[in-house]
Structure 1
């Protein structure tokens, strides 16, 4: 059995929200102080994020993951909140976005794609069913990979609907989901058979918080130097992100009640509806043509707003969905 975290590791887990906020602040300072490091940090994002997801998958035994996939109502609720409710909310806000196509594309990229990484952490902090969310992760990423081009076509027409092709998403699915998940299962099998494997598994489990912090530092520091040239456009999308978080708290609650989920599952649905896939879609935004380069900054801006929003969610979601 995995060991319970103690000492420094337990302290990091208790204070992980503060650590994440500190990581974003550190990334901001580093990005402003050393803008030349930005391109190198961009290349570090995927390896760090893939390692983070490996450690995340490692926390749940393979048998539990497969068993969770049989939770039909939860999976249906997750799909409805992310691919029916969220697009409707985005459509309602779309006409209020800046007219710049690159800005709109950045907003669409990030808001139409559900989170597959730190949503599990924040949902768990609020008493949500992290295991069921974790089991839904491959399905959510596959669904957004298939649906995003169609959504872009509906919102922006054929000119930009094919800017994001399936290739980068297939690469993301392979590097960030399939490989980390396979390695996690292999590590679990090794840990079940040998003391050395258990030692490696326990050691990897202690790296969750530092890896999340490293991912945030790399993302923020690589994009902050680009912010100064686009500050006005960025400022105009901030209210959109704040409104989205406020609306989705109640929209997720309504979907959870519609599907008659228990409290932990309902809290998880609220979180999956509100948290977006900014870390995974950022490489897609970075691959866009130079004329659309601001889209990546728009995506990272959502990350900054969302992590602060998640701090609030961790406090208010248990009040919206009490256990009694």
Structure 2
């Protein structure tokens, strides 16, 4: 199987992994501690392999097309946070569920967004160029968004931050730094580029292992969260629809070419679920629903991207001259 085929079928791979994890957790509960112990190092390797694919040392490339950059920043970090804030009254009062929704919807994707952009006839080069800027901006702005959108009495802020900061440093910042060092090492000699290509195979199978272990370790939480997940399903579906329409509006106002408009739609529609997943998993006992919500959203998004591959190039950003 080629890597392109692997990425095209990733939604079914993740779905199968979740079902296998649920079955394993239900049949052999004693596996749960092992899943939890292996989950953290697997997540760290997953994030490292993914960050290596992001041109971290080429952040300046995003600013070469200022109009496109402004459109992406406006869409991802102004309009979408406003949209998410407007969605909050539609959610239940469960703070874990709300936190999970906020974590996953507020951060734009930095991995499969590029693959779907390429398949959806977007501007792949500009998608790659804008990715490190998206990543750095979300790491800086996510704490601000959470502080603004979560009511002060919804959670013990001190206890939550005491859990989130070590997770962010150990499972996001450290892999990010190592990926930057690796990128510099690879760029120093042309033959070393093969290592980036090899690491590009890792994210899909590693993410499948991660969701399998989460499902196996949290099988009771997943089953008990069923009604809550069904309640949040319309929000995630509506998010995909509304973000695509917002992308069309922003592209028209900014007068973006079709390929750049499609790229904008894919970056606004895809979210960085696996980057915020470690943060949700680091929360205290009783907050497991947040991680389940994040995994659930990623599945809804992947199915939504299958529709986007038709909806974006054939309807919203159709080439009328073709």
Instruction: Give the shorter-chain TM-score range.
Output: 0.7 to 0.9
Q: Distance in 2 between matches of 1:136 and 1:166?
A: 26
Asked if residue 13 in structure 1 is aligned to residue 4 in structure 2, the reply is yes
What's the counterpart of residue 321 of structure 1?
A: 317
Q: Distance in 1 between matches of 2:93 and 2:39?
A: 28
Deviations 1:30-81 (A, max 9, x none): 2023222531452212212311331x23xx7977x64343222222111110
Shift of 1:244: 0.5
The answer as to 2:295 corresponding to 1:300 is yes
Could you say which residue in structure 1 is the equivalent of 2:187? 188
* Aligned counterparts of 1:90 and 1:67: Cα–Cα separation in 2: 29
User: What CA distance in whole angstroms lies between the structure 2 residues aligned with 1:201 and 1:248?
Assistant: 35
Secondary structure at 1:116 match in 2: coil
**Distance (whole Å) between structure 2 residues aligned to residue 172 and residue 83 of structure 1:** 23
SS of residue in 2 equivalent to 1:291? coil
Root mean square deviation, CA, Å: 2.4
CA distance in 1 between counterparts of 2:156 and 2:265 reads 29
Q: How many residues align?
A: 302
In structure 2, the CA distance between the partners of 1:255 and 1:177, relative to structure 1 (3 Å rule), is farther
Q: Secondary structure at the match of 2:64?
A: coil
Quote how far apart the aligned CAs of 1:222 are: 2.2
Structure 1 unaligned regions, length at least 5: 1-7, 192-197
After superposition, the C-alpha distances for 1:245-267 in whole angstroms (9 at most, x for unaligned) are 11111111111222222222211
How far 1:298 moved relative to its partner? 0.8
TM-score normalised according to structure 2 size: 0.85
Aligned equivalents of 2:212 and 2:239: distance in 1?
25
Q: How does 1:6-155 map to 2 (within 5 A)?
A: 8-9=1-2, 12-14=3-5, 16-18=7-9, 20-35=10-25, 36=31, 37-43=34-40, 44-54=42-52, 56-57=53-54, 66-155=60-149
What's the CA shift for 1:167?
A: 5.3
Taking the aligned partners of 1:61 and 1:278, their CA distance within structure 2 comes to 19
> Which of 224, 228, 237 is the aligned partner of 1:233?
228
The worse-fitting range, judged by mean Cα deviation, of 140-149 and 259-268 is 140-149
Residue 273 of structure 1 deviates from its aligned partner by 0.8
Residues of 2 paired with 1:217 and 1:92: CA distance? Answer: 32
Distance 1:317 1:146, change over 3 A: same
1:226-265 to structure 2, matched below 5 A, reads 226-265=221-260
Measured in 1, the distance between the counterparts of 2:292 and 2:108 equals 18
Gaps of 5+ in 2: 26-30
Q: 3-state DSSP class of the match of 1:91?
A: helix
